[in-house]
Amino acid sequence: MKEKKPFFDIKRIRGALELVCILVFVAGAAFLLVNGLIDLKSKKTMKELRETIKAARIQSEVLPGPGDSEDEEDVVDQVVEVDALSVVADNDEEIMAQSVSVSKTPLFEAYKKLHDENENFYGWLSVDDTDIDYPVMQGPDNEFYLGHDINGKYDKYGMLLMDYNCSEEAEVPHYIVYGHNVSNGKYFGELMFYGEKSYYDYHPVINYDSIYDSRKYEVFAVFRTSVEEAQKQHLFTTWSFENKKEYDDMVAWAKEKSMYDTGIVPQFGAEILTLVTCEYSQDEGRFIVMASRKKESE
């Protein structure tokens, strides 16, 4: 009579464990491969965008700019055309609005192209001599572009995202830009370096291009906070300042929280740019860099 093998056979158990280990290894390798390919694609897309914008900036330094005579003649022609239209149309508001809009031209042709391809392209943010050099998107909410690229495809790093409530039309705008704190330094991972005064000393200015103009903002406060504290101060729900007290209270709070004194105290009327990323020293922590717009003459 043939001897019946026990159910808990050592060889059978060992074989099953080996199979499980192989499956886990294959799944892990596939996961790393897929993530590696996504990273490579993300890096390629961003590299191409940066090269395009870099070339546009270089070209703008070589070709005649808005202040040169050739462009001034074009502006004069536009003004004459607007005046003529206003006379013919008398008080026709629709025609006047169309006439005024033609004089607003993009800073770079590259920005126009990006905006034509995706109307959610909002501008470009950079800090000299750092890896912070990225397009800024503004979608219909504050979620989509935290997990998608400029083409709307999945990207675990997402994009820099302007709060969807922020508006260029506000009287005293408060621009809030969110970005992931990525360990490899991408996006706002390098923002954490502002925790050291020595880093700020070499990078006191944040550059921001809207589609139509180039701006510079001086850092005036760097601090850690929690989502709860920020909400109490209305940091993420104040998209413009209606009066001087509201403005001064926000600045005073930020200056008091700041890790060090930058010597910059914004005055009511100056736009404020707030950069936000996650930090992990506390629950729901946020690392904040706030800057005010420099005057054109400075």
Answer yes or no: are the C-beta atoms of 104 and 211 closer than 8 Å: no
Q: Is residue 281 part of a domain?
A: yes
Total domains, the chain:
1
8-state DSSP, 193: G
**Paired tokens of 126:** 């950079």
Q: Which residue type does 236 have?
A: F
Provide the whole-model pTM: 0.75
SS3 286: strand
pLDDT per residue over 179-227, tens digit each?
Answer: 999 876 678 999 999 999 999 999 999 999 999 999 999 999 999 999 9
Q: Is residue 114 part of a domain?
A: yes
Q: Is residue 19 part of a domain?
A: no
pLDDT of residue 122: 94
Q: Is residue 85 part of a domain?
A: no
Could you give the CA distance from residue 283 to residue 16 in angstroms, rounded to a whole number? 42
Q: Which residues in the chain come in under a pLDDT of 50?
A: 62-103
What's the chain's length in residues?
298
Q: Is residue 86 part of a domain?
A: no
Q: Is residue 180 part of a domain?
A: yes
Centre a 10 Å sphere on the Cβ of residue 163 and count the other Cβ atoms it contains.
19
| Helix H or strand E segment including 174 | strand 174-178
pLDDT of residue 72: 41
Helices (H) and strands (E) in the chain, counts: 7, 8
**Paired tokens of 230:** 């920020």
Q: Is residue 130 part of a domain?
A: yes
**Paired tokens of 155:** 């990207």
The residue segments making up the domain with residue 228 are 107-293
Could you give the CA distance from residue 147 to residue 179 in angstroms, rounded to a whole number? 10
Phi-psi region of 276 (alpha: psi -120 to 50; beta: other; left: phi over 0): beta
Residue 195 φ then ψ, to 5°:
-65, -20
Answer yes or no: are the C-beta atoms of 137 and 159 closer than 8 Å: yes
CATH number of the domain encompassing residue 238: 2.40.260.10
Q: Is residue 7 part of a domain?
A: no
